[in-house]
Each structure stands twice: as C-alpha cells, then as structure tokens.
C-alpha cells in the first residue's frame, strides 16, 4: 500500500481525471486482491471464532455505532465530487453521469459490504473497528 500511495503522489496535482484513470484501476485491483485474500483467510479459518449468522442481523445500538461515521462522511462528501466529475466527462449528459455515479456507488457499496461480512465471519464478536488490528491479532 505504501508503494501505491507513493506512486500516486506523482498524479496528485493532475488537472484532468483522464490522467488518473490508471491510478483508479490500480486501486480497484488492490481492493479486489484484498477481498480475495480475506476470502482465502476465511477459507483457512478453523471456525473457532465464528458466531451464529443471526447474531449479525441483530441491530445493536452502542458507542461503537460511531465507527460508521466514515460511511456517512463518504455520502456527504460525494456531493463535492459531482460538478468536477461531470465537467471531466467526454460526452456530457445527465444519463452518462448518472451511469458513472451508479458504477461508483455500486463498487463502493460492494466493497464495504463484502469486507464487513467477511471480517465478521472471520473474527466474530471479537471484531474491532480497525480491520488491520484484527489481522494483527491472528
């Protein structure tokens, strides 16, 4: 991740989103690999920490609910990306922007949901808010 972050510094001050396309594809590939590695880890798991799946569906309100703030911040900050993203479209139209927004939100949602469910299945009730802390304890 450090290498990818360092390499992406070369593109940080680019004005056109077209020049950032390769960085987006690399990031998407890294996310896909991370999910694949989590699935591999789930397959290697001995099942000692697994909880009933019904327990995951139960809504619990506690101070840990505040860890979901990052999801809300993404939803709020998405509005600031609307105009710059629309301006960078090749053939500007509302339908084309709607399609690209749906793709972006779908990728983001699938990533969050799959990582959350896989992490719960691996770590059970011992799941901490920081996913990397969980992997450090294994």
What's the pLDDT score for residue 13?
59
pTM (two decimals) = 0.65
What's the pLDDT score for residue 17?
56
What's the pLDDT score for residue 92?
86
**What residues of the chain score a pLDDT lower than 50?**
none
What's the pLDDT score for residue 134?
82
* DSSP class of 23: H
What's the pLDDT score for residue 62?
72
Determine the structural domain holding residue 28 and report its residue range: 2-136
What's the pLDDT score for residue 81?
76
In the chain, how many domains are there? Answer: 1
Alpha helices in the chain (DSSP H): 2-8, 21-44, 53-57, 69-77, 82-87, 94-123, 131-136
């Amino acid at each position: 991740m450090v290498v990818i972050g360092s390499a992406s510094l070369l593109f940080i001050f680019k004005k056109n989103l077209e020049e950032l396309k390769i960085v987006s594809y690399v990031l998407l590939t890294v996310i896909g690999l991370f999910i694949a590695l989590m699935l591999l880890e789930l397959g290697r798991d001995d099942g000692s920490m697994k909880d009933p799946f019904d327990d995951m569906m139960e809504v619990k309100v506690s101070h840990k609910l505040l860890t979901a703030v990052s999801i809300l911040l993404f939803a709020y900050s998405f509005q600031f990306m609307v105009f710059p993203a629309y301006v960078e479209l090749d053939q500007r139209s509302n339908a084309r922007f709607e399609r690209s927004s749906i793709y972006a939100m779908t990728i983001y949602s699938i990533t969050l949901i799959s990582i959350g469910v896989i992490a719960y299945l691996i770590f059970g009730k011992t799941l901490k808010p920081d996913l990397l802390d969980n992997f450090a304890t294994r």
